[in-house]
Amino acid sequence: MKTLKKFFGLFVMAAFVLVSCDKENEPTPDPAPTPDDEEEVVVFPDIMPAVDAPGAGNITIAIYVPENTCNGVILTGSFDGYNPGAKEYPFTKLEGEDRWYTITVPYASDFAAKAIALTAEGKADWGTQWGMNIPEDEIENVVILSGEAVLTEENGGEQKLTAVPDGTVVFVGIKEWKSAPCVERNKAGEATFTLTAVAPLPEGALVGIVGNLSADLNWNITAPVVMSQNGNTYTATVSVGEACEYKYFVSLDGTTWDWNIGEDGGNRQMPLDLKPVDTVEAWVGLPVEEEAQ
């Protein structure tokens, strides 16, 4: 009996040694993935929905929209005189799809268009068009996912869809709208602007405000709200309508205004208290010889 117990003890010890050796020889598991190893977030779908070709004389545009699209989308462009406020060309939500919309319009060799999200109030203007493509951004805001077409750039990164062949479908992905269409917007009233120009302007230059401030001041570059100057601070007071967006521009001679001379970047949104306090770090479009030293 003692011999049997001794033999059993030796057997257990041997088994333990074998298991220990096996564990030492097991491959080391891969380390936990670091943030750099994580999979890239997919913004746009890889598979396009089924959309029939429209036939000769027409083109179909299918768009994949951001989640914050609350009230529909319209198309504007060469075919309606770039008049988004008329809302003559609404997209239709694709049946069975949460974020796909389509529209079919007549073909034209000079066709050019932009998609614009309706605000919560049902308005459509340039402030909620599909987003700008900025070179330093990792993912572009507007991308052709499938189909033959061209995105052309204007106004510092805004995108325009062109060169869509007759009788075809083009699929476009939209990462973000230029500004969020469904956030609360300002009410009508008297707005007081205060601007600090960190970058000085040449003597005699004026700063003006252009935007959808009112029916008369609806992005009218030829008649901006001219601001009063006190050093590098500029101020202005003007009556505005609801849901305003605006941008600052510069007249070098005090008379002539140009879309390409002013602040860089997208439109600004009117704060709810109608008291925008803004800063411009740099002006674009100034001739080199005119820049203040």
Domain ranges of the chain: 58-174, 189-285
**Segment holding 12, helix H or strand E:** helix 2-25
189-285: CATH, from 2.60.40.10, 3.40.50.300, 3.40.50.620, 2.60.40.3140 = 2.60.40.10
Determine the pLDDT at residue 40: 53
Whether domain 58-174 has CATH 3.40.50.1980: no
Determine the pLDDT at residue 188: 94
Q: Copy the structure tokens of residue 241.
A: 């309508």
- Same CATH topology for 58-174 and 189-285: the answer is yes
Determine the pLDDT at residue 20: 45
Q: List, for residues 142-172, the tens digit of each pLDDT value.
A: 999 999 999 999 887 899 999 999 999 999 9
- For 54-179, where are the E strands, in sequence order? 58-64, 73-77, 92-93, 100-106, 112-117, 142-146, 150-154, 158-162, 169-174
In this prediction, the residues of the chain whose per-residue pLDDT falls under 50 are 1-26, 28, 35, 37, 290-293
Alpha-carbon distance values, 280 to 12, 40, 96, 168 (Å): 80, 34, 46, 44
What is the C-alpha to C-alpha distance for residues 104 and 165, in angstroms, rounded to an integer? 13
